[in-house]
Amino acid sequence: MSEKSPSSLVRMLMVLDFFTEATPIWSVEDIAQKLEVSIPTCYRYMKMLVESGWLTHQSESCYTFGPRILVMDYYVRQSDPVLRASVPLMQELVAKTGFECVLSAFYGDRVLDSHHEKSNGKTFLSYGRGMPRPLFQGGAPKVILAHLPNRQLRKIYDAHPEELKQSGIPEDWDGFRAYYQGIKKRRFYYSAGELESHLGALSVPIEKQGQPGVWGAMSLVAELSRFEVVDLHKMKEMLEGATRSISHNLV
């Protein structure tokens, strides 16, 4: 028996997943081809998405994201309990250290930054709110993946073989799992130039009290030269103090 075809609503919502940093603009013809629907049907989908604000016209037959995305992002910022609990403590860390502080979380099968608290320095982070991180590089993704259940970690391992090859992490499952178990045991990860050659990041998990898993990760980020002259253990203690407070507030 063949799988049931997606409903019209599902197909229409699938369109939103087509828009990425690499392909921010789509034509009706390309969307219709990807959805395997007729051009008239595709125009009907586009009309509904434009009227609801999810998409907007880039030209007569080309589309990009619309203003409703910005509205929803605002609502997320106001309602996200992790973000609300974290920002004041992130501001304190920035004031004490002069480093930048980054909040990251796992959404679907990607790690995203949800907030950057900037310092007066010139760190120049290339990753911003909502931009997917490489899964296997950098402090925050490694700390978060280290706390996933083995079943979920195995699913990510199976789904991203090409990305794994470029990471330097063991490519066999036993080695891959052991690598992340080591990070979980240490309860932190220091990334030295993994994402950007001039930057370091010290990351710790925001643990869920009384249950497995983590809410996300918090990182202090600065140029490598600055990490060379600070007490890494002391920085880790400061981060852990902040994340314990966040975890307590989320109970």
The token pair that represents 48 in the structure block: 């509904």
Check residue 124 and give its pLDDT: 66
Residues 189, 201: Cα–Cα separation, whole Å: 8
Tell me what percent of the residues of the chain surpass a pLDDT of 90: 66
Residue 1 has pLDDT above 70, yes or no: no
Banded pLDDT at 122 (limits 50, 70, 90): low
Q: Residue 54: which residues within 8 A CB-CB, separation 6 or more? A: 16, 65, 66, 68, 69
Banded pLDDT at 123 (limits 50, 70, 90): low
SS3 state at 87: helix
Pairing of strands 199-207, 189-192: antiparallel
Q: Please provide the average confidence, as pLDDT, over all residues in the chain.
A: 89
pLDDT digits (tens, 9 = 90+) for 144-168: 999 999 999 999 999 999 999 989 9
Tell me the average pLDDT across 215-240: 94
β-partners of residue 104 are 113, 217
Sheet holding 110-117, edge to edge: 110-117, 100-107, 214-223, 199-207, 189-192
| Spatial contact of 73 and 53, defined as CB atoms under 8 Å apart | no
